[in-house]
Chain A
């Protein structure tokens, strides 16, 4: 195929997305934003899997990304349940303020 998008571009994009996800995971103060960053990391990895799968002409990458999506969905469900409970008990979504430890 001529003028196809090179694999490296996909990988770089995936890396950038993953990096953004990590940055958001560490720096953001709102729990929901942190979860969004986690989802971003998972999707970046998905993109990487699909890119390799297309390039190497193997179906394994596709199947694996299904798994990743299922896990992401389950994790999001549980995580949102936790967030709701935290919000009911602590009345805030700022992760710095929900700790009840002394120091």
Chain B
């Protein structure tokens, strides 16, 4: 069962499109790009069907990558139930987004480049998911960060896009530094980076009541996860990443790459469960991020920014789930979130495509009669994310909130409040875009089938995906948490209140939103400007580093010290040469003088050395 085919097929697509795409016709490029991912998805399904019921982990060993002293790192791929969920999400949703991109990117001159990068991303993400040791996972981790940079800065002639790409990569690197330190500590503690060896060794260790080596490892892994999965304090790259094309936002920044942190944490469950302090930190950071990002989402006017902050918030929910020990709930929410968030972004893309580039909610309105399919599918996604009863979001979000209540009730209440805010801002966006009168100047039109087809499929998954009982299927790996009907219905009710409030503010009484914003003036400005976090980071970290680099490292060390030394050697050589040159000046009298001087010196030397005897 060649597991290596699953990532290699998209990689082949990348090579073909990247090397030859410039001269290929558009249908051929689409064929290779979409076809490679379709084949990868088909092969995934085949493998999983053959491995059914997947009681134990299925490992394929390929070759030894690094062999140095006692350090031995292999390239192994493995499939267990957690991997199976991730593979289906990545290849399935990835395939739908590739199909959608055929329509969305059809006018772009860099068509082949887009699909080459997208395929490369699929390759790295699949390596990340299939990897059986921390270093190979890190290879995939870095690779998806690279592709994220390439794709965010896809419109490479726009300054704000390339800046956003830089920001994403640099902030991710900070997280990766933490991850690297964690890998070093893991090797030092366990002598291996292989998952099976590390987790089996960890199971024998006692729980750390106070901070110890396991807590350090887990906190550093968390730093890596906050970078990749956009949690506090390293979430700032994700809203800016909306500068990339919308399919990129859907695939990378909603469905797959940002979930890598959650996946890594779930995979390392054996380590985290033995370090309760780290788990609490994960839960608190997740909850704080969920709440914080939801408040920012309330006031945004760009439709993609609303969904970006929503992603940050929902990722916070996943970390909350993982942090309170409900690993399967976190992964379940990862899956349902992939469905409805990808749908939200793709739908937003359809709206933007239909309005020829308009992204501001204040310029939309009344689009329901122009784009019926887009409107209905986005309604499905909005209901799912709000936790409307029996949608996928309802099941997954409540699994997390119930587990949070069992851990600490205050977490549940803040989570419920955040759910209410989530419902509010998502429906705010929906109402502002699709109801009322059209406030813009373009001619809105519906998108072609190649774009609405994936939307419809994702809508079905968003509504019905909750019935795929992932927590039950992950039971052998992660213990399932109990259910509590009352809490579940309570959070669903809060979601409905959020939807109703959005209806009141934006449909029933349209002026209410603006007057409310005016009445809380300063607070509104604070939230609208994202709490000025970017400005604070810029002043506290970016400017000092840039200025320090310029004055000390560049002018001082590089130009002054290093260039000075190298140039100085040259100048000294010239100086000495300039002096020695005088020996051959063409002035005969000086030659004569040197001859005489030389003779005198020879005679003195002989005389001092005792004469010729």
Q: A25-B596, A26-B593 are in contact. Are A100 and B586 (CB under 8 A)?
A: yes
Q: Contact at B585–A26, with CB atoms within 8 Å?
A: no
Question: Which residues of A in the span 8-54 have a Cβ within 8 Å of any Cβ on B?
Answer: 22, 25-27, 29, 34
Size bracket of the B interface = 10 to 19
A100 to B587, CA, bound (A): 10
Q: Does A7 contact B (CB under 8 A)?
A: no
A22 to B587, CA, bound (A): 17
Q: Which residues of A contact B581 (CB under 8 A)?
A: 103
Q: Which residues of A contact B586 (CB under 8 A)?
A: 99-101, 103
Q: Which residues of A contact B587 (CB under 8 A)?
A: 96, 99
Q: Does A95 contact B (CB under 8 A)?
A: yes
Q: Does B592 contact A (CB under 8 A)?
A: yes
Q: Contact at A95–B588, with CB atoms within 8 Å?
A: yes
Question: Which residues of B in the span 565-613 have a Cβ within 8 Å of any Cβ on A?
Answer: 581, 584-589, 592-593, 596
B581 to chain A, nearest CB (A): 8
Q: Contact at B588–A26, with CB atoms within 8 Å?
A: no
A25 to B588, CA, bound (A): 10
A13 to B137, CA, bound (A): 98
A-B contact count (CB 8 A): 27
B362 to chain A, nearest CB (A): 77
Q: Which residues of B contact A26 (CB under 8 A)?
A: 589, 592-593, 596
A22 to B593, CA, bound (A): 9
Q: Which residues of B contact A34 (CB under 8 A)?
A: 592
B588: which of A22, A27, A96 is its contact (CB, 8 Å)? A96
Q: Which residues of A contact B588 (CB under 8 A)?
A: 95-96, 98-99
A20 to chain B, nearest CB (A): 13
A82 to chain B, nearest CB (A): 12
Q: Which residues of B contact A27 (CB under 8 A)?
A: 589
Q: Which residues of A contact B584 (CB under 8 A)?
A: 101
A101 to B588, CA, bound (A): 11
A68 to B584, CA, bound (A): 30
Question: Which residues of B in the span 516-552 have a Cβ within 8 Å of any Cβ on A?
Answer: none
Name the CB-closest residue of B to A94.
Answer: B588
Q: Which residues of A contact B592 (CB under 8 A)?
A: 25-26, 34
Q: Which residues of B contact A101 (CB under 8 A)?
A: 584-586
Q: Which residues of B contact A29 (CB under 8 A)?
A: 589
A22 to B603, CA, bound (A): 15
Q: Which residues of B contact A98 (CB under 8 A)?
A: 588
A103 to B579, CA, bound (A): 13
Name the CB-closest residue of A to B582.
Answer: A103
A99 to B585, CA, bound (A): 9
A46 to B196, CA, bound (A): 101
A29 to B593, CA, bound (A): 13
A102 to chain B, nearest CB (A): 8
B589: which of A22, A95, A100 is its contact (CB, 8 Å)? A95
B115 to chain A, nearest CB (A): 65
Interface string of A59-103 (1 = CB under 8 A from B): 000000000000000000000000000000000000110111101
A26 to B587, CA, bound (A): 11
Residues of A within 8 A of B (CB): 22, 25-27, 29, 34, 95-96, 98-101, 103
Report 14 cross-chain contacts, Cβ distance below 8 Å, ordered by A residue: A22-B596, A26-B589, A27-B589, A29-B589, A95-B588, A96-B587, A96-B588, A96-B589, A98-B588, A99-B586, A99-B587, A99-B588, A100-B586, A103-B585
